[in-house]
Structure 1
Amino acid sequence: MTGVGAAHAQADFFSRDTISGLVDLRLVAAGGETSWVDGAVGKARFGEGHQGLRLGEAALVWNPRFSDTVSAVVVGESQDGQRHLVDLGEGYLAYRSRPGASLRLSARAGVFYPPISLEHDGLDWSVPDTITPSAINTWVAEETKVVGVEATIRRTIAGQSFSLTAGGFKNGDTSGTELTFRGWALHDLKSPVFGRFPLPPLSAKMATRQAPSTTPLAEIDGRIGYYGRIEWRPSSRLAFDLFRYDNEGDRISVDSRIEWSWETRFWNLGMRLDLDAVAVKGQVMTGETLMGYSNALGLWADMGFEAAYVSATKALGPGSATVRYDHFSTTDRTNKATDNNAEHGWSALAAYRWDVRPNAQIVFEALYIDSFRRDRARLGLSPAQEQTVLQTAFRRQF
């Protein structure tokens, strides 16, 4: 009877330990370009016309446990300006082997973000130290969520930790659409499972070939993509990881909304260093995204992309201070005379997180973005734009 009772005690579906949530209210002062959220080409979540009090996010997380090794995660979230008032953020089953084994295994299946971001480690895949993630992880949140399966094995040898992750997925066919037609961005919105993101006004060449919005989790060509990740931790203070992603898109499949299957692949290198006083993070990403048929000038869309950031966070008073520098660019390799999507830019961020209580924070953030995008001239704008966004987030977890 003792064994049976212990087995039942391990299952927990509806208790205070399985339900958690987050409310993020935002006070905003922004200038510069009209935001991409409003169908323009501004790179921040807030721009011209976005002032005052806003809803940053509200989320409810259900984490039932079926046993001491099997659990689930279901996230319902609401973000200001999205197509649905409430949408699904993530939903997956997870397995983790019992601790103590020399070779540890974990796996998950469902809807989730691949393990790319070093910044999103808070509740509901949020960024705890700042409000706005880097350009790399802004795009990860927009266009790399998948419906798939993933497995990870971990082993510690001579005090050093190694892990290997492999994943297969579908519903990632439109990855690259935002990055091509709008370019890099810096904001904290995440892709909704049943929602869409707007695109800026398309060129005359693409207006009849591409829908005016993109569905991040569309499945169009029926192919299976893949990703892999290796991580090396030589000590408890230092970690490196290398990530490879390929959605295996066929480039020419199209659905009834005129959304296409893009062929998108990239490498990402990450580094974390925890010193006594400062935690340093950095990522470098390089890749390409292609779409459409080939003509005398090349493919309809053929673009290379690169980005990198480094950030430092230091405990300071009743909280922590963070500074970050971003650099980003895209290289248009086709049809540049009529549809040039090349850009380059940089960004600087400074933030302070005040831990009012263990489950309540106030985050102050200043974000500056300087970018040059030739396609702005087509819209009657200067290719060079600067933007400053000041935000205060009032966060409460429960």
Structure 2
Amino acid sequence: MGKLTSTVVGTALVLASASSACAQAELFARDTFSGLVDLRLVAADGETSWIDGRVGKARFGDGHQGLRLGEAALVWNPRFSDTVSAVVVGESQDGQRHLVDLGEGYLAYRSRPGSAMRLSARAGVFYPPISLEHDGLDWSVPDTITPSAINTWVAEETKVVGVEATIRRTLAGQTFSLTAGGFKNGDTSGTELTFRGWALHDLKSPVFGRFPLPPLSPRMAVRQAPSTTPLAEIDGRVGYYGRVEWRPSSVLTFDLFGSENEGDRTSVNDYREWSWETRFWNLGMRLDLDAVAVKAQVLTGETLMGYSNALGLWADMGFEAAYVSAGKALGRGSATVRYDHFSTTDRTNKATDNNAEHGWSGLAAYRWDVKPNSQIVFEALHIDSFRRDRVRLGLAPRQSQTVLQTAFRRQF
């Protein structure tokens, strides 16, 4: 991570030196540590999961039954002053390359409250501010088990090593914010989305790990590695993103996010992983009423890779997805329902591996708050998708799958 790591460290030192030392630092106090253990009881049918090197869209498929580890995480949140802190996450997820890996690690600055203009910044390894669902401990989804297709992909292929700054201003009861970020180590973004397609699961990209790809076509198997590293830096270029948010009232929020990783398409590392040119836009909306909380996101973009031939680029893919969810406090917990729609458009070389797909999913979940720090989450997820490239693997192009999960969560 070389040069950008030096930049991140330098920015972190600037943020730290700019902060006031009036508040006593807390580095290893008890309240600077928190954690999460998530055990999972699973029953699933349908395709073999993508995590096992096939094309199933869920984390668990046929053969994945019984008790499993969903996630275990330890979060360290040291405070250096009243304006500067850090977040370091160590996590373990079943099915990953390493037993324990780094989730996120960044230094954060937040100006003191009380003024109409607020400034915040961070530098390190983190997820850009896209998801409206991941607002729990360790960037988890508190009300369900499985995030939407959009935010599943955000968790897979958009984590970055970078710097980010946000300015927030309140005027006449309305809040506006502007975020800008620069990053590296996002060159392979688009690989999973192209060769596997959309998915719905709760795995997150490990800093030092890899994700498997499904069996590639003979045309691509000699060019592309059988796995992908989410945080690979290949072409040395700096990507960027921006986000604007508008809160016209205390219950309604809109945001627009755009990202361009500036991949050069043709740089390749020693593992045969390529630099993809990936750009996308995301529009989000959140409505928090007394009885119901509604969330919705729409994402559209494209990803391109490789050299051009008579049939076009090696890979040229358009992608779109949207979801709407509604949650309601119910008894000692909350109930959530969600509908997803997703699709990809293959714009090149379709005779050898047509990666176009379209599909939908429906989810129903109930979170039972057994104790303040203990929850049981029941979830039913159904996915239906049509992907023509399944025929190459001896499968019917249309597949449907149902996954039933119970998560036993303990926070500390």
Shorter-chain TM-score range: over 0.9
Structure 2 unaligned spans of 5+ = 1-19
The aligned counterpart of 2:105 is: 91
Partner residue of 2:33 out of 12, 19, 44: 19
Is contact 2:187-2:275 (8 Å) kept?
yes
Distance 1:391 1:61 in 2: 25
- In the alignment, is residue 221 of structure 1 matched against residue 235 of structure 2? yes
Partner of 1:248: 262
SS at match of 1:180: helix
Residue from 288, 292, 304 that aligns with 1:290: 304
Give 3-state SS (helix, strand or coil) of 1:221's partner: coil
The corresponding residue for 2:213 is: 199
Counterpart Cα distance in 2 of 1:328 and 1:63: 36
Letter in 2 for 1:202: L
The secondary structure found in structure 2 opposite 1:141 is: helix
Q: CA deviation at 1:16?
A: 1.3
Decide whether the 8 Å contact of 2:23 with 2:82 is kept in 1: no
User: Could you tell me which of 295, 308, 313 is aligned with 1:281?
Assistant: 295
Structure 2 letter corresponding to 1:77: E
CA distance in 2, matches of 1:374, 1:209: 21
Distance 2:48 2:99 in 1: 22
Taking the TM superposition and a 5 Å limit, the aligned residue runs for 1:297-316 are: 297-316=311-330
Match among 57, 62, 68 for residue 82 of structure 2: 68
**Which ranges of structure 1 fall in alignment gaps of 5 or more residues?**
1-5
Q: 1:143 aligns with which of 149, 153, 157?
A: 157
Q: Could you tell me which residue of structure 2 aligns to residue 262 of structure 1?
A: 276
Alpha-carbon deviations, 1:185-221, whole Å to 9, x = none? 0000000000000000000100000000000000000
In 1, the alpha carbon distance for the partners of 2:377 and 2:353 equals: 39
**Residue in 1 aligned with 2:384?**
370
Instruction: Indicate the larger mover: 28-37 or 8-17.
Output: 8-17
State the 1:10 CA deviation.
Answer: 2.6
SS in 1 for 2:30: coil
- For residues 37-90 of structure 1, the C-alpha deviation after alignment (integer angstroms, 9 at most, x for no partner) is 000000000001100000000000000000000000000000001000000000
State how far apart, in whole Å, the 2-side matches of 1:124 and 1:276 are. 27
Look up the match of 1:385: 399
- TM-superposed CA distance for 1:8, in Å, is 6.6
Secondary structure at 1:179's aligned position in 2? Answer: helix
User: Helix, strand or coil for the counterpart of 2:220?
Assistant: helix
Match of 1:10 in 2: 24
Q: In structure 2, how many angstroms separate the alpha carbons of the residues matched to 1:314 and 1:40?
A: 36
What is the aligned partner in structure 2 of residue 154 from structure 1?
A: 168
1:276: how far off? 1.3
List 4+ stretches of structure 1 deviating above 6 A.
none
Task: Output the aligned Cα RMSD.
Answer: 0.8
Q: Which residue of 1 aligns with 2:199?
A: 185
Which amino acid in 2 is paired with 1:347?
S
TM-score normalised by the chain length of structure 2: 0.95
**Number of aligned residue pairs:** 393
Which residue among 108, 133, 136 is the counterpart of 2:147? Answer: 133
Identity of aligned residues (%): 89
- Report the equivalent of 1:168: 182
